[in-house]
């Protein structure tokens, strides 16, 4: 991992500049190179390799597929998502529930929209909208794992709450643990006028999942916009309308 001296930088990435994958059932926007979308100058920030903003249609989803040596955190914004994996883990993820899958030595899983079309007129037919984020683990080849935990709406209101962390200073605080001691994911739901200060870390990735907010020295950000901060964290973020933000605090980077 990189230990080179850092040059302060604020890198704003607007929603419309993201890579896009669109199929009959999936609308996915990729903040970094992903799948067949490749840009050698846009592969990661800090320890974060993937920040996918996905909407999956009802009765569809990602069929069983493999992962290895990755910490995968999923945060649902609306609807619900069913997870099943080759280690026997099964869960339904919905807004306010943080989920982590450690791929380790290798794991297969599927992710499906938790919707159904019933007979006799009854139906639950709603897209699921979620953000999936991948960070590299501390150590390769560990035993795969799974964890999920519910976080009350009142806990997220007006504060940046650590929802997934491997950092020692967050011991006992985050809802879920990740196997990366130099990274933590924070989430906040902000009403207009509410403000938080993003972590003062060497690498910060701020993603506006919905709403509009104003970041000090960066300006107004809308849904899908992101800011990559290098050696210039500690900035004030104020909601201009109801907003939900996801902020990665990272103290190391990939070479």
Question: Residues with Cβ < 8 Å from 119, sequence gap 6 or more?
Answer: none
The span from the CA of 95 to the CA of 113, in Å, is 13
Residue 120 in this model has a pLDDT that exceeds 90: no
Q: How confident is the model at residue 27 (pLDDT cuts 50, 70, 90)?
A: very high
How far is CA 208 from its chain centroid? 11
H-run or E-run covering 48: strand 48-56
| CATH number, position 89 | 2.60.120.10
Contact 28, 232 (CB under 8 A): no
Listed residue (191, 173, 177) closest to 244, CA to CA = 191
A 10 A CB-CB count for 205 gives 29
pLDDT band at 122 (very low <50, low <70, confident <90, very high): very low
Asked, for residue 181, whether it belongs to a domain, the answer is: yes
> What is the pTM for the complete model shown?
0.94
**In this structure, is residue 95 part of a structural domain?**
yes
Length of the chain: 255
Hey, which residues does 93 pair with through a beta bridge?
81
The pair of structure tokens assigned to 190 is 């902000």
pLDDT at position 174: 79
Average pLDDT of the residues of the chain? 93
Sign of the alpha-carbon dihedral angle for 213, 215, 217, 218: negative
Report d(CA 91, CA 111) in Å as an integer. 10
Asked if the structure places residue 1 within a domain, the reply is: no
Structure tokens at 30: 């990729």
**Is residue 44 situated within a structural domain?**
yes
DSSP letter at 252?
-
CA distance 223 to 35: 23
What average pLDDT does the segment 160-166 reach?
A: 95
147, pLDDT greater than 90? yes
Range of the domain at 201: 9-115+124-250
Residue 4 lies in a domain: no
Which pLDDT belongs to residue 119?
Answer: 40
Task: State the total domains in the chain.
Answer: 1
> Is the pLDDT score of 149 beyond 90?
yes
The pLDDT of residue 182 is 96
Pairing of strands 183-190, 213-215: unpaired
Residue 211 maps to a domain: yes
């Amino acid at each position: 991992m990189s230990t080179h001296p850092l040059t302060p930088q604020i890198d704003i990435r607007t929603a419309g500049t993201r890579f896009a994958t669109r199929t009959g059932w999936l609308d996915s926007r990729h903040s970094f190179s992903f799948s067949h979308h490749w840009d050698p100058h846009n592969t990661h920030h800090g320890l974060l390799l993937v920040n996918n903003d996905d909407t999956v249609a009802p009765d569809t989803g990602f069929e069983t597929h493999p992962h290895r040596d990755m910490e995968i955190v999923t945060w649902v914004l609306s609807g619900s998502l069913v997870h099943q994996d080759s280690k026997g883990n099964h869960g339904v993820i919905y807004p306010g529930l943080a989920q982590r899958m450690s791929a380790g030595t290798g794991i297969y899983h599927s992710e499906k929209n938790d919707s159904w079309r019933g007979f006799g007129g009854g139906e639950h037919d709603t897209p699921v909208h979620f953000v999936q984020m991948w960070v590299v683990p501390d150590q390769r080849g560990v035993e795969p794992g799974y964890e999920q935990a519910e976080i009350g709406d009142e806990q997220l209101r007006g504060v940046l709450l650590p929802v997934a962390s491997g950092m020692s200073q967050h011991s006992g605080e985050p809802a879920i643990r990740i196997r990366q001691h130099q990274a933590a994911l924070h989430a906040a739901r902000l009403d207009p006028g509410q403000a938080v200060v993003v972590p003062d870390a060497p690498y910060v990735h701020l993603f506006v999942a919905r709403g509009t907010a104003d970041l000090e020295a960066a300006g107004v950000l809308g849904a899908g916009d992101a800011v990559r901060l290098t050696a210039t964290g500690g900035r004030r973020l104020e909601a201009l309308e109801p907003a939900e933000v996801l902020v990665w605090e990272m103290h190391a980077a990939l070479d």
